[in-house]
Structure 1
Amino acid sequence: MNRQTDLSHISAFTTLADILADFQIPLPSTTNGPEIILTGEIPSPELTKSQRINLTLIGAIPALANAVVAATIFEARGGSRQRVEIDLRRGHNYIDPDIGMTPSLNGQEITLDLVAGNPFLRNIFETRDGKWVVLSAVYVDLAYKWTALLDCSMAESSARAAVKMWNAADLEALAAKAEMPMAICRSEKEWNTHPQGSVMTGQPIVPIEPAKKRSSPSSNCSPFPATVPDRPLSGLKVLAVTHAIAGPGAGRTLAEHGASVLQVMFTHGFEHAFVYTYANLGTASTRLSLNKDSDRQRLWTLIRDAHVWIDSYREGAIRKFGYSDTAMHNVNPGLIITHIRCYGSSGPWAWKPGFDMQGSASSGLMCLMGEGLGDGRPRWPPGMVINDYTTAYFAALAVMGIVLRRVNGESDWDQGWVVSPSLCGTAMGILRFFKTERFPGTGSGEPLSPEMLEGDTSLGYLKTLAPLPKMSATPVAYQGDLLVTMGSSRPVFPGFDDGYDIRALTPMSKEGVVHSFAAGVVKKLERIRMLGEEERKARDKAYDIARKAAVL
């Protein structure tokens, strides 16, 4: 082993130890847990766009940590000790599947049609007072709302002109009133002294709290069978009421190690094909409408039978239907409840909506990316989306850490937990543990492309990234169907069919859909339009008074 390879391996092991310590998970020893093998060396930062943050380690270490804990769980359940191996030369590909390859179905790139021309996806906007902000419309309904709020068109020039009319703090306040995803690009120092940033600075990457202990005769929080499992998480039932990337990705990561994962989408919810085809590998996909009593009851049945709940909607979006932490723990005391938010589950911004981009903007990550580059303006991190998949790994790691405590007898199976991963918390973790400056002298090798995973699916012949970690006894794999059509599964846990009969269900009439869903969308758009109109009038008056006072 040459000096560069040695430095690379020291950096990787140090970062792995740091991450596991942050999650209160012990490192494997020579007698307990897997043997960890690193191959290759960290590539040159210039070749992997890692001048500011080390993409190799960001892509490799969270996935490695999950594999290490999965192997430790397998051993604790009576399985054999095994080796876990990663190739550092491929790690940079795994922060986003489009970095190192182009995923495809039947040889065609996966469609991007509904994001083309959207000005609220890849732009960083300048405000009236010379600051920089990120407004996000990841889904088309958000684009409708931004144009209604700002009184602009979907042309980029129109959106930029509308944003330039506002001071950053005033636009942030407007977005908050409209419940829209927006963030000011702040430095690390600014964020750490911000009311929300100061709360999150004192927390681990993923806060994990035990719930108030309950007992319920109807609880299904039973331990795993005493028999040696085929996979580390065999028997673990995961209910994921999620959208976008981080939530489904957490379910996918647990499925990679043998969990039975049911992803639930709202009946009239939308997901981009390029997101769904990677974030949902190895999971079942069903649709339920929380506006229908029968579907709400079905969801409660699934909650009673689940070990893990994951949701990734803004605070209150699901709770308003009755699915509060207290209510879920009342029917299933041992449930591991996982809320993936933009800013976590505590602090003044716990309610605030946001996506990957808001996490990067708020935390200081985008300001770091712009340091020393020409005008010093904030820049996107490489690949733009960096927190989503990493948050998925961190969420799964937190869940597996609790499962490890249970199989080791350190936590009762009827002890519930609340896990709070966040996109901004992940960005802060990247700044804490993955800055390139932490590893001086590391990185001179050549990067490698990712290994390919391919196979027939109900959507066509899929080619995408193969999981990075290699495990000698329980290879990372997707049981059952590699990828199912969105919403095509029955609402049952894969491998645990309880006989739920979908043939007896009656769909809502079109008139009912209009009344319960579409009419609400129209009303919300009008409310947002009127809010924008009122706030623009108040803005113009206030700015005019300030201008006149400045002249005097």
Structure 2
Amino acid sequence: MSAAALLASLWEMGRGEPEALQQVTFSGDNAQLPSTFQVGDVAAASIGVQALMAAQLWRERGGTTQKIGIDRRHALAMFKSDRYLSINGRPADDPWSKIAGYYQAGDGRWIQLHTNFPHHRDGVLAVLQCADERTEVAKAIAGWKAAELEQVLADADMCASMIRTEQEWQAHPQAQAIAGLPLFEVRRIADGPVIPWKPENGQRPLSGVRVLDLSRVIAAPVGARTLAQHGADVLAISAAHLPNIMPLVMDTGRGKRSAQLDLRDAAGRQQLHELISSADVFMQAYRPGSLSQLGYSAEELCALNPGLIHVSLSAYSHVGPWANRRGFDSLVQSASGIADAEGRATGGTAPGKLPFQALDHATGYLLAYATMLALQKRAVEGGSWQVRVSLAQTGRWLQAMPRRGLHEDAAELREDEIASFLQTSSSGFGEVQAIAPVEKMSLTPAHFELPAPTLGQHAPVWLP
């Protein structure tokens, strides 16, 4: 399936006018990175659809039709953006824990550990009762059955997944629970006023839109970063006691402001309430129900601020027995059969993986697209809206596409290609070089007005 066909399908999901598709042109070499899955076309199409939505909003704010260009190879580079990040001319530190990855259990099945946050690493080591060394972890796992260890770690709120085949995943209760869900959801959940676009603030498609970003790692931060590159005021909220992966903070923080609030105390919660009361979008990527325990359910927040767009990203979706399970892109690949399929394609016995975190990045761009759809609906119909996406739903979408040979029409990104896609900005981290926005928009160029901020660099207030 081509990028153009995927774009048309995504645009139809949002009920966009078919004629608008003529605004988008795909260019560049169509070779993707080695994979049996259509990751190249997914990258180009998911970036393209949110750019087309931004152009649509620009028109609704009084602008004119513009042309959008998507370079396929640039899209591949953006989906690997954290790997090309450099600070003061030096590559960013490798964020991966030395014990993260695949292991073979005693029953011959494979399991993946995700231990990049210190408390996840320590929790896994406590269960395994071994030292923080890969050889020691391998010995410990050899004494377990993979499915049993997966369950024990899940019960301990740790991050791991047994490698399943695609057939095993399709038969799993979690896969069956999400089988009927759409790729993304945009639904009205409460009454609220019509909030029309203000042409006088329409210097860019999302000028004047306020976005609270309570997310970390990749998918939701990519979505919020995408809104920022179209002009939204994105305020990322973190806390000093929460762990972060700094190369990802630098990459996905571009265009945003950053403040810190401790929601464990009343003062922090009060400040957050004040921000929410005048926000347009509230975005979070905690496990379903986690923020509800603090009084931040979609319904409560929309009651506080009628007309709010509440955006949620999860690993395995908001329904099913795994709804509350911790997860990351690579773990969803492992659970759903993607890792098994990629491993089999190499002819080896170990699991494989996609050439980049395709579920994270594609979901992030779909999240931005769906959020803009909700803003469009609010401007016409009024109401408070909920947007929901998950890595597992994006994975199911990817797996439903026709397959290809591992090296069919594939080529790694060359150094000269990568260099042409990079941009440099001065930040609190130093000179940060990272992949520039992919979409070339003729009237409202996507760009970052701010460099990546250090954590807590800004006050928790909206821009005037």
Q: TM-score, normalised by structure 1?
A: 0.78
Q: Which amino acid aligns with 2:162?
A: I
Q: Quickly say closer, same or farther: Cα 1:306–1:169, change in 2 above 3 A.
A: same
Aligned mates of 1:273, 1:176 — CA distance in 2: 26
Q: How does 1:332-347 map to 2 (within 5 A)?
A: 332-347=305-320
Letter matched to residue 472 of structure 1:
S
Partner residue in 2 for 1:393: 365
Q: What is the match of residue 6 of structure 2? A: 15
- Take 1:302 and 1:283, find their aligned partners in 2: how far apart are those partners? 15
Q: Summarize the alignment of residues 346-357 of structure 1 with structure 2, pairs less than 5 Å apart.
A: 346-357=319-330
Q: 2:441 corresponds to which residue? A: 471
Q: Deviations over 1:370-397 (max 9, x none)?
A: 12423343212213x3322222111111
With over 3 angstroms needed to count, the CA separation of the structure-2 counterparts of 1:374 and 1:39, relative to structure 1, is closer
Counterpart of 2:331 (choices 345, 354, 358) is 358
Show the counterpart of 1:35: 23
| 2:16 corresponds to 1:26 | yes
- The secondary structure found in structure 2 opposite 1:337 is strand
Instruction: Specify the SS of the correspondent of 1:271.
Output: coil
Task: State the SS of the aligned residue for 1:420.
Answer: strand
Cα 1:33–1:430 shift into 2, 3 Å: closer
With over 3 angstroms needed to count, the CA separation of the structure-2 counterparts of 1:291 and 1:434, relative to structure 1, is farther
Report if the CA contact (8 A) 2:105-2:111 is conserved.
yes
Among 430, 439, 450, the alignment partner of 1:460 is 430
Counterpart Cα distance in 2 of 1:150 and 1:484: 38
Whether the aligned pair in 2 keeps the contact of 1:287 and 1:487 (CA below 8 Å) is yes
Contact 1:359 1:425 in 2 (8 A): no
TM-fit CA distance, 1:28? 4.3
Structure 2 unaligned blocks of 5 or more: none
- 2:2 is paired with a residue of what secondary structure? helix
Aligned to 1:107: 89
Match of 2:146 in 1: 168
Residue 195 (1) aligns with residue 179 (2): no
Are 2:107 and 1:119 equivalent residues in the alignment? no
Offset of residue 442 of structure 1: 6.5
Moved more, 255-264 or 450-459: 450-459
Cα deviation per residue 1:338-374 (whole Å; 9 max; x = unaligned)? 1111111112211111111111111211111012423
Deviation track 1:300-353 (CA, whole Å, cap 9, x = no partner) reads: 111111111111122343222221222112112322111111111112211111
Measure how far apart 1:440 and its partner are: 12
Q: Does 1:266 find its partner at 2:266?
A: no
Q: Distance in 1 between matches of 2:128 and 2:410?
A: 46
Partner residue in 1 for 2:42:
58
Letter in 1 for 2:247: F
Describe the shift of the 1:451–1:225 C-alpha distance in structure 2 as closer, same or farther (beyond 3 A).
same
Alignment of 1:279-428 (within 5 A): 279-383=252-356, 385-407=357-379, 409=380, 411-412=381-382, 415-428=383-396
SS at match of 1:298: helix
Contact 1:58 1:91 in 2 (8 A): no
RMSD, aligned CA: 2.4
Shift of 1:108: 1.8
- The residue type equivalent to 1:145 in the other structure is G
Q: Equivalent pairs: percent with the same residue?
A: 28
Q: Deviations over 1:265-290 (max 9, x none)?
A: 02311212211111111001110001
Asked whether the 8 Å contact 1:264–1:286 carries over to 2, the reply is yes
Per-residue CA deviations over 1:462-512 (Å, capped at 9, x if unaligned) read 211011110000000112x2221121111023x33xxxxxxxxxxxxxxxx
Query: 2:8·2:18 contact (CA, 8 Å) conserved in 1?
Result: no
* Alpha-carbon separation, structure 2, partners of 1:157 and 1:379: 20
Partner residue of 1:247? 220
Name the CA distance, whole Å, in 1 between partners of 2:7 and 2:37.
16
Task: Give aligned pairs, total.
Answer: 461
- Decide whether the 8 Å contact of 2:186 with 2:374 is kept in 1: no
Q: Which residue identity is paired with 1:421?
A: V
Deviations 1:140-190 (A, max 9, x none): 111111111111111111111222222122112212221112212122222
Q: Deviations over 1:243-286 (max 9, x none)?
A: 11112211101101111101000231121221111111100111
